[in-house]
Chains A and B, each alone.
Chain A
């Protein structure tokens, strides 16, 4: 299955190029470089001809399964198309050739892009201050909660020990709370799958630092009581943090600040169409209120007349990324937002329409636990007697990446489907057709799926029980 590594191909001395005969004298490196700059042995590079290099990497890339090859309805991940116009912007030599240590005066264009993007995210969220530094969504969460922590520390309030997390939360939320030194406490749900406000009232007290809410939540349901929730927190002196993983459902329709959100993160690699790139690089930009603005990471970009500069916010929690974050992602997101302009709202409207179309077509055959209008994603359950895992593996044989399964945890046999706005009705119809066909298939036979993938079903239990990790 695994190809040999490129280094094991070719043979010693083989090169992918030929140079003209050397017509100048050779100089021994030992005569021109100091001793400490010389390697003891040569680099271990692959010694191969060019076609071998091209075939090796082309064949590896064909093993990739991505949004460029197939429909990828992975819930909570917003696997939307990455517009090629973004790549044109990112490949512009004036940006691509910038060095991260270039003096600010020579990188004014890049700083202007960062400053404008800060403004765009501020407009989308309604929150006045932004940091583009965090490199991923989970890092944006941690950054936000560390800012909340620093606020209480600087105000001499050392009694804030807990962070509340709904039972539908992404696993990164309680992990973030723990990493930041808080105890994570779980809140239950009401009959709509939303935060139980009565339970919240009982739990919130002087020890509460924040509630981490995802809106719409991971069931694809809008947290309609969010204003009341924020009031309860603010009365107790606590903050409302919003996990922005699902912002694709809110653009131009819900500004978190107006619902009382104090701090939130964005995933530029979800909502704003930059590539997910196999786990990185991403950008988990954050936006916050004036109260929390002084605690933002270093650096932020500020403008004075026509001059842009990096500044360290007064009470900054410090650096969270090397250099200036993932600038290439910022540039792509800036380009995406500029392309849409005020019509950015259409993105959300189409994403919500697509998810509801899938919900309406699957309902009746698949279970829909929260059978009301959903936002950008929908959670369904397989027909009785069938398992989400088997349906997911069956979808691979139909040429689809499976949806997220067994999440959210509050729904048994959950299958979380997020079509995104960039898919056509034909693609959705084909996908729904595959799911309806799988629902009719023999449950025992489906346990053998996938039959047509490069590997059959992997033994996930054994892989976890007998873990062999190398790095």
Chain B
């Protein structure tokens, strides 16, 4: 499973890419593999304010519906509308075209490094 070194992670299998004060959020390759084929993504409203740990939407696969949790707090400045018609992008390109939302934030609390996340995956397997 790919775990890019330039990203940060959560225990609930989201990834975060921090660029300035904008954090892009998605789910990891491991998460999409566990879920199986994603068939629907429930996205938050643009402009919504999230606290770290808030459930902001859900990913529905043929197996199950899983809540998505905000890795950091902030304001939703953009959501990936392309997922509405092409939810499979989460399976095909979880770290690229499968991104889910962008948060305006300076919050960095409680995120895992790539090495720490890889260790978590090893422990879970």
Q: Counting CB contacts under 8 A, is A465 at the interface? A: yes
B64 and A465 form a contact (CB under 8 A): no
Q: Counting CB contacts under 8 A, is B14 at the interface? A: no
Instruction: Write out the residue numbers on chain A whose beta carbons fall within 8 Å of the beta carbon of B87.
Output: 465
B39 and A461 form a contact (CB under 8 A): yes
B34 and A461 form a contact (CB under 8 A): no
Measured CA separation A58–B34 after assembly (Å)? 42
Q: Counting CB contacts under 8 A, is A95 at the interface? A: no
Q: Counting CB contacts under 8 A, is A81 at the interface? A: no
A464 and B64 form a contact (CB under 8 A): no
Q: How far is the CB of B28 from chain A (nearest CB, A)?
A: 16
A464 and B34 form a contact (CB under 8 A): no
Consensus secondary structure, chain B interface: loop
Q: Counting CB contacts under 8 A, is A398 at the interface? A: no
Q: Counting CB contacts under 8 A, is A255 at the interface? A: no
A406 touches which one: B37, B39, B60, B63 (CB < 8 A)?
Answer: B63
A460 and B37 form a contact (CB under 8 A): yes
Q: Counting CB contacts under 8 A, is A412 at the interface? A: yes
B39 touches which one: A389, A409, A412, A465 (CB < 8 A)?
Answer: A465
Measured CA separation A389–B64 after assembly (Å)? 13
Binary per-residue interface labels of chain B (86-125) against chain A in the complex, 1 for a CB within 8 Å, 0 otherwise: 0110000000000000000000000000000000000000
Binary per-residue interface labels of chain B (71-91) against chain A in the complex, 1 for a CB within 8 Å, 0 otherwise: 000000000000000011000
Instruction: Write out the residue numbers on chain B whose beta carbons fall within 8 Å of the beta carbon of A409.
Output: 64
Measured CA separation A185–B37 after assembly (Å)? 27
Measured CA separation A70–B40 after assembly (Å)? 34
Measured CA separation A256–B62 after assembly (Å)? 35
B88 touches which one: A389, A406, A412, A465 (CB < 8 A)?
Answer: A465
Measured CA separation A406–B37 after assembly (Å)? 13
Q: How far is the CB of A106 from chain B (nearest CB, A)?
A: 50
Instruction: Write out the residue numbers on chain B whose beta carbons fall within 8 Å of the beta carbon of A465.
Output: 39-40, 87-88
Q: Which of A406, A412, A461 counts the most chain B CB atoms within 10 A?
A: A461
B37 and A412 form a contact (CB under 8 A): no
Measured CA separation A461–B62 after assembly (Å)? 6
Binary per-residue interface labels of chain B (29-58) against chain A in the complex, 1 for a CB within 8 Å, 0 otherwise: 000001011011000000000000000000
B40 and A464 form a contact (CB under 8 A): yes
Residues of A389-443 contacting chain B, CB below 8 A: 389, 406, 409, 412
Instruction: Write out the residue numbers on chain B whose beta carbons fall within 8 Å of the beta carbon of A464.
Output: 39-40, 60, 62
Q: Which of A389, A409, A460, A465 counts the most chain B CB atoms within 10 A?
A: A465
A412 touches which one: B34, B40, B60 (CB < 8 A)?
Answer: B34
Measured CA separation A406–B39 after assembly (Å)? 16
Instruction: Write out the residue numbers on chain B whose beta carbons fall within 8 Å of the beta carbon of A412.
Output: 34
Q: Chain A residue with minimal CB distance to B85?
A: A465
Instruction: Write out the residue numbers on chain A whose beta carbons fall within 8 Å of the beta carbon of B88.
Output: 461, 465
Binary per-residue interface labels of chain A (4-18) against chain B in the complex, 1 for a CB within 8 Å, 0 otherwise: 000000000000000
Q: Chain A residue with minimal CB distance to B124?
A: A412
Instruction: Write out the residue numbers on chain A whose beta carbons fall within 8 Å of the beta carbon of B37.
Output: 460-461
Measured CA separation A386–B31 after assembly (Å)? 18
Q: Chain A residue with minimal CB distance to B60?
A: A464
Measured CA separation A461–B60 after assembly (Å)? 10
Measured CA separation A389–B36 after assembly (Å)? 11
Q: How far is the CB of A286 from chain B (nearest CB, A)?
A: 27
B64 touches which one: A406, A460, A461 (CB < 8 A)?
Answer: A406
Instruction: Write out the residue numbers on chain A whose beta carbons fall within 8 Å of the beta carbon of B64.
Output: 406, 409
B62 and A460 form a contact (CB under 8 A): yes
Q: Chain B residue with minimal CB distance to A409?
A: B64
Instruction: Write out the residue numbers on chain A whose beta carbons fall within 8 Å of the beta carbon of B60.
Output: 464
Measured CA separation A412–B60 after assembly (Å)? 16
Residues of A370-399 contacting chain B, CB below 8 A: 389
Q: Chain B residue with minimal CB distance to A467?
A: B39
Q: How far is the CB of B101 from chain A (nearest CB, A)?
A: 21
Binding site for B on A (CB under 8 A): 389, 406, 409, 412, 460-461, 464-465
4 closest pairs, A vs B, by CB? A461-B37, A464-B39, A406-B63, A460-B62
10 A–B contacts, CB within 8 A, in A order: A412-B34, A461-B36, A461-B37, A461-B39, A464-B39, A464-B60, A464-B62, A465-B39, A465-B40, A465-B88
